[in-house]
Amino acid sequence: MPVPFAASEQPAAQPVAQPLEEHAAPPQDPPRPKPVARNARRRLSRVEEFSAGGLVVDMGQMRAALIGRLDRRGRLLWSLPKGHIEAGETTEDAAIREVEEETGIRGRVVAPLGTVDFWFVAEDRRVHKTVHHFLLEASGGELSDADVEVTEVAWVPIDQLRERLAYDGERRLVDTARRMLSDTA
């Protein structure tokens, strides 16, 4: 069944036939636009990705290292350090490596904090990302924003983390970490 044209997509009126001069090319109709369904969307391939990271805490001063990244609007958004799990790497090893790469702080895993998952679109793919987070105790290093993916890093007092973090899922993980830390105090 033909799809009706919207008012703005009506085909041009056909010209009235005129006698042709000898050897002239016959007139051609202008190309007609193809109707497009209003709700047509391109199909994106779906991809599963896994990352690891965590909350690295300086237990002596009860502060944690956060990273700041600029979003597309130029706003600085604070979050927990995290990144891709390399081939052959455990989630714990990836968390330790990513925390150190993005903050400069070495840490050791104390306990799992939980996972956060979210969706985003990148490079014509719909990505479902699951991030495994851990509570880490700082064991050395120096705070550094040398990683190209990071705009700023900061030590933030534990009781100010919720207000600083940009994402709800990470705020929930901080709540879990604070309960864990108060149970061990």
20-55 confidence digits (pLDDT tens): 444 455 556 666 666 655 555 678 999 999 999 999
Q: Is the model more confident about 108 or about 20?
A: 108
The CATH number assigned to the domain with range 45-184 reads 3.90.79.10
In this prediction, residue 183 has a pLDDT band, given cuts at 50, 70 and 90, of confident
How many Å apart are CA 58 and CA 64, to the nearest integer?
A: 6
Residue ranges per structural domain of the chain: 45-184
Structure tokens given for 116: 């956060």
Contact 139, 104 (CB under 8 A): no
Per-residue pLDDT, 15: 47
Per-residue pLDDT, 29: 65
Per-residue pLDDT, 17: 47
Per-residue pLDDT, 73: 95
Residues 6+ apart with CB under 8 A from 95: 52, 53, 54, 82, 109, 132, 133, 134, 136
Average pLDDT across the chain, whole number = 86
Q: Average pLDDT, stretch 47-71?
A: 97
Of the listed ranges 26-40, 94-108, 142-156, 167-181, the one predicted with least confidence: 26-40
